[in-house]
Amino acid sequence: MNVSMKSIVKVALVAFVMTSVAACTKKEVAPPPTVTPPVATTPAPKPTTPVPPAATALPPVGVAPGSQQDFIVNVGDRVYFDTDQSSIRSDAEGVLAAQAAWLIRYPSVKVRIEGNADERGTREYNFALGARRAQSVADFLTSKGVVPSRISTISYGKEQPIATGADEESWQQNRNSHTAIVSGAN
């Protein structure tokens, strides 16, 4: 190879290496400018009456506030009892307090408290037990400020089970009180 040819090859090789190195380096790209939304200048009005905490949660999309579905989904419509008991369990107090707050928020709603029992025991005994359970719930709601004339009670005893099994799990589900909206819901 002659000298000029060697020079050309060297120059071409150097150019190739420099091009390769340049292609491998990262280019710094500036991030797009962030846009800050405008801040509202007028403060939101404050409610004139306090709203119970359970009633401040926004309902899921499609659930109308004050509707039966709102009551079931956001508050809960059923509490459970121990065997042969009609006293309110501690785990039911939160649900019942939320029911009372919801009913106070929607004063045109009337409810029926339905007392239920599991399949064990006589029909008469379970009707009486269901009535005591329904009355315990009604008493709790009125103690929290719900007007008694908006509440009625009924006992279904063991006649309307929600679980059909004959085992402890089914019996636990059937020892309940159900709060049913009978009128006034949206």
pLDDT of amino acid 77: 97
Residue with tokens 């949660």: 57
Does the residue 32 lie in any domain?
Answer: no
Does the residue 109 lie in any domain?
Answer: yes
pLDDT of amino acid 51: 46
pLDDT of amino acid 5: 61
Residue type for 174, please?
N
Residue range(s) defining the domain that contains residue 132? 63-183
Q: Residues 34-82: pLDDT tens digits? A: 555 555 554 544 544 444 455 455 555 678 999 999 999 999 999 999 9
pLDDT of amino acid 63: 87
Does the residue 7 lie in any domain?
Answer: no
Nearest CA to 88 out of 135, 142, 158, 121 is that of: 135
Crossing angle of the two packed helices 90-105 and 123-143, in degrees rounded to 10: 60
Nearest CA to 179 out of 122, 92, 114 is that of: 114
pLDDT of amino acid 20: 58
Q: How far apart are CA 120 and CA 62, in angstroms?
A: 40
Region class of 74: left (phi > 0), else alpha (psi between -120 and 50), else beta:
alpha
DSSP 8-state assignment for residue 83: T
pLDDT of amino acid 151: 98
Q: Residues 143-166: pLDDT tens digits? A: 999 999 999 999 999 999 999 999
**151, 137 in Cβ contact below 8 A?**
no
**95, 136 in Cβ contact below 8 A?**
no
Q: What integer best gives the mean pLDDT of the chain?
A: 83
The structure tokens listed for 51 are 């709203």
Does the residue 94 lie in any domain?
Answer: yes
Does the residue 116 lie in any domain?
Answer: yes
**163, 169 in Cβ contact below 8 A?**
yes
pLDDT of amino acid 37: 52
Does the residue 78 lie in any domain?
Answer: yes
pTM: 0.67
pLDDT of amino acid 26: 53
Does the residue 136 lie in any domain?
Answer: yes
Beta-carbon contacts of residue 126 (< 8 Å; ≥ 6 apart): 117, 118, 157, 158
Does the residue 9 lie in any domain?
Answer: no
Degrees, nearest 5: CA angle 38-40-42: 160
Q: Is the pLDDT of residue 174 over 50?
A: yes
Tally of domains within the chain: 1
pLDDT of amino acid 47: 46
Q: How far apart are CA 151 and CA 165, in angstroms?
A: 31
pLDDT band, residue 132 (cuts 50/70/90): very high
pLDDT band, residue 107 (cuts 50/70/90): very high
The percentage of residues in the chain with a pLDDT greater than 70, rounded to a whole number, is 67
Q: What is the CATH number of the domain that holds 128?
A: 3.30.1330.60
pLDDT of amino acid 17: 56
pLDDT of amino acid 79: 98
